[in-house]
């Protein structure tokens, strides 16, 4: 962001192979602006919920840059970033991210206002509580669309082109939060997992 405007956005496919390119991409973007690392004042990171590995990578990179440059960090809720992808006519939005076991990481919005913050739930339960029409958005849709009744015309399934979080929205929300002094110390920054990874749950339960 430069003076409240997004200078440039780089889009690439999700996946661990592409995640390894994040640091080179950041380097390319800063060089394109004529910046050195010391010119970075604020870091906005999409904090989750989402892929456990992806969140760990993002948080680690944000912490590393902050510790080297003394930049301040803003932890941006991923559900708010995704809700920004909803079409202008959407009055109610449900975020759908796959959490496995027929569960989703989700949140519900009315317009731009969050009604249910990020939590673990089922799509069936979320739809039962939501007014109609309601737009579904998020990469978990293919795994949970079976819970949408074909007779419920009030449930609008958005297209795959708006299922991924946009860096532009992270930047705009992060900038607004920064102006409200909503920063997080680098040493306290942690991903918003909602629940423990499956391997940790099994370990704690003794099912090893």
Q: What is the pLDDT of residue 11?
A: 80
**pLDDT for the residue numbered 161:** 96
Question: If you average pLDDT over residues 75-82, what whole number do you get?
Answer: 98
Do residues 157 and 173 share a domain? no
CA distance 83 to 87: 9
Instruction: Kindly state whether residues 157 and 90 are assigned to the same domain.
Output: yes
Residues 90 and 158 in one domain: yes
Average pLDDT for 127-146: 98
Shared domain for 153 and 121, answered yes or no, is yes
Average pLDDT score over the chain: 92
pLDDT beyond 90 at 37:
no
Number of domains in the chain: 2
Domain-embedded: residue 8: no
Q: Residue 12: pLDDT above 80? A: no
Examine the pLDDT at 172 and tell me if it is beyond 80.
Answer: yes
Based on the fold, state whether residues 140 and 98 are members of the same structural domain.
Answer: yes
Asked whether residue 156 falls in the same domain as residue 106, the answer is yes
Q: What is the pLDDT of residue 195?
A: 84
Percent of the chain having pLDDT more than 90? 74
Q: Report if residue 11 sits inside a domain.
A: no
131 and 110 in one domain?
Answer: yes
CATH code of the domain covering residue 181: 3.30.420.40
- What was the pLDDT predicted at 87? 96
Contact (Cβ atoms closer than 8 angstroms) between residue 95 and residue 57 = no
Same domain, 127 and 24: no
Residue ranges making up the domain that contains 62 = 16-77+165-205
Is residue 10 assigned to a domain? no
The reply to whether 2 falls in a domain is no
pLDDT at 193 over 70: yes
Q: What pLDDT shows up at residue 197?
A: 65
């Amino acid at each position: 962001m430069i003076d409240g405007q997004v200078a440039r956005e780089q889009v690439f496919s999700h996946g661990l192979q592409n995640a390894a390119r994040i640091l080179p991409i950041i380097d390319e973007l800063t060089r394109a602006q004529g910046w050195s690392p010391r010119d970075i004042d604020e870091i906005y990171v999409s904090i989750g919920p989402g892929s456990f590995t992806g969140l760990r990578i993002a948080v680690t990179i944000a912490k590393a840059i902050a510790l080297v440059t003394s930049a301040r960090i803003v932890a941006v809720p991923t559900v708010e970033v995704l809700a920004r992808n909803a079409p202008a006519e959407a009055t109610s939005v449900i975020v759908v991210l796959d959490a496995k076991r027929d569960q989703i990481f989700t949140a519900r919005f009315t317009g731009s206002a969050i009604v249910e913050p990020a939590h673990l739930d089922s799509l069936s339960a979320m739809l039962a509580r939501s007014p109609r029409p309601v737009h579904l958005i998020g990469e978990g849709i293919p795994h949970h669309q079976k819970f949408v009744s074909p007779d419920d015309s009030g449930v609008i399934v958005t297209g795959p082109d708006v299922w991924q979080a946009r860096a532009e929205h992270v930047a705009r929300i992060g900038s607004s939060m920064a102006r409200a002094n909503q920063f997080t110390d680098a040493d306290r920054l942690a991903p918003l997992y909602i629940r423990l990874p499956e391997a940790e749950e099994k370990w704690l339960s003794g099912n090893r």
